[in-house]
Every structure is written in C-alpha cells, then in structure tokens.
Amino acid sequence: MKRLMRNLKRFLIFLFVLVAFMYLNNTSLFTNEINREPLLMAHRGMAQTFPMEGITGETCTADRIHEPEHSYIENTIPSMEAAFDAGADVVEFDVQPTIDGEFAVFHDWTLECRTDGEGVTREHTMQELKELDVGYGYTADNGETYPFRGKGTGLIPSLEEVLNHFPEQSFLIHIKSDDPVEGEQLSDYLSKFPKSRIKELSVYGGDQPIASLKERLPDLRVMSKDTMKSCLFPYIAVGWTGYVPSTCENTQLHIPEKIAPYLWGFPNKFLNRLDGINTRLVLVAGDGGWSEGFDNEKDLERLPINYKGGIWTNRIDNIAPILEE
C-alpha cells in the first residue's frame, strides 16, 4: 500500500511538473511583446462586398453586392492602389492562366458573372480579356441598375503588370485550380524576378500546383490544404514542447479565429515561433468559410489583446483607420 502511495505521489508530482512546463512554455504572459503592428491583408484589394448567406462555389457574387460605398472593382490596379493607400500591408488577388502564356488577374473561372464576355477565362488571350468590361455585371438592386457598367473596360491586368506597377509592395497570389502544370507555369513566371521581389510574395491554392511550385521555388512562402495539415497536425501533437516541425517552414497559415486559441503558444509565443521560420499567420473570421474577414469595429473586438499577427479583411477602408487609432 505504501509503495502504491509513493508511486501515486511521484506520478502526481510528475504530472504537476509536466503541466507547469507546458503552461510556462506556451503562455504569452511572459513573452516579450512583438514590436510591430498587425499585418493587414486586403482580400482582392478594395472590393465590393456582398452578403455571405447562402453562397456556394457556383454563386455569382457580382449580382448581389451591397450598396456601393466606393467606386473600386476587385482585382484591378486602381483597387490595389486604394487598398495600399488605405493601410493594407498585403493585397490578395486571384490569377488565371491565359492561352498566350500570361496570367490574368481575375477571380472567376468563367466570364459571364462580372464581365460582358463569355466562356472560360483561361481559354482567352490576355488581349481578349483586356477588351472586356470587368464592371459589367455588378448590381445591388437585382439588376435595376449596374453602377459600374462601362467603367471597367481594360481593367483586367496581367500578373506582370501588377508586379511591375507595385515593385516593392507585398502580395498574396491565389491559384484558382488544382492543376500541377499551373504551379510549374507560375514558378517559371516568378523566376524572372529577383529573390528580393519573390521574398515579398506568397502563393496559395490547390495542393498539386502548390506542391510543384514549392519544389521549384523552395524559399517562396506558400499555402494549401496539404501544407496546412502537414504543419499543424504535428505541431498540435508536439508543439507544447516548443518544437515547430520543419514542414511549417516558408509557409502561410490561414487560421479561423475559432481554432487559433487552441494552438500551442497562441498568440505571441506562436507568432514568435513562426517568425523564426519565415512563416506568416493570418487570422480569418468565424470558421474560415468563404473568405470571411474582420471587416468592422465589432469584428476587431474579438481579436486577442495586442494581437500582432496577420488579419484578413474585405474592408481595409474600415479597419485600417480603427487600428491606427
């Protein structure tokens, strides 16, 4: 009986020491404050927003926008300029390959929703896409008026135009397919730029194109479902020790706000660990569905106190001034 009690006592002491170690090794209470401002990531630049209720992958979001509060059209150079001027640190945009070897900055797989064109986006040349009116399909009143019709002709830019127009700004590029060849094409495209420029870029998308892109440009920061799982699953298992798996290096993590608090060391310890391996954490709103962002003052109130990581937003014009205050 005495032996059993001694063993139980040793076990309880060991358990106490283990729990204390796990707490002290992961609490942000004793972590040096991160000396930077939160990183603001503007989804599609300065874009028109729309209600999220009931949308699917097939929903045309241009024909259900909110009443416009500004004149900018997503994924265009003017919208990116406006986003950076408003306070964005990074602008996210989408790319589609064209049949003449370019990459068009455009969200949709097909043209009918937003433009006056028809057919699959990637089955056109860059010049054909530039002839379209990218503001043609936007309406906030079920088609009674089209406030941007006639104002978007020629505004679909190429990837090269964007990177040349903004030689120093940071971007997150979204590959819209799961075709590994597209990753190879994008790696060839980006390889024309110096390493200092590539350092300011991140790319996310389907597992296969991201894998082929990562193989060719290993220092490029990337994200896919596979890279997220290969980083987070082992980190959840052993991150309490302070160890960060090598699979987390040179990646980007988009973490829903409801999941982030369960990651070891979140927020400050976790952010410090990621800083050491060139990995960026971006919080997205809610459960992460359909690019939900922190878009107003009430959304920002849900962030951890003195949070210094990335923030995903669809309304950079709303939240940047609030954070500056």
The full set of domain ranges for the chain reads: 224-325
pLDDT, tens digit (0-9, with 9 covering 90-100), for 23-44: 666 777 766 777 789 999 999 9
State pLDDT tens for residues 290-317: 678 999 999 999 999 889 999 999 999 9
Q: How far apart are CA 246 and CA 104, in angstroms?
A: 33
The reply to whether the predicted model has a pTM over 0.85 is yes
> What is the overall mean pLDDT for the chain?
92
| Residue 215 confidence (pLDDT) | 95
Is 320 within 8 Å of 86 (Cβ atoms)? yes
Q: Which of 275, 282, 284, 324 is nearest to 302 (CA)?
A: 284
What spatial distance separates the first Cα and last Cα of the chain, rounded to whole Å? Answer: 65
Model pLDDT, residue 187: 96
Q: What is the pLDDT of residues 111-167, one digit of tens each?
A: 999 999 999 999 999 999 999 999 999 999 999 999 999 999 999 999 999 999 999
**Residue 191 to residue 197: CA distance in whole angstroms:** 10
Q: What is the pLDDT of residues 263-275, one digit of tens each?
A: 999 999 999 999 9
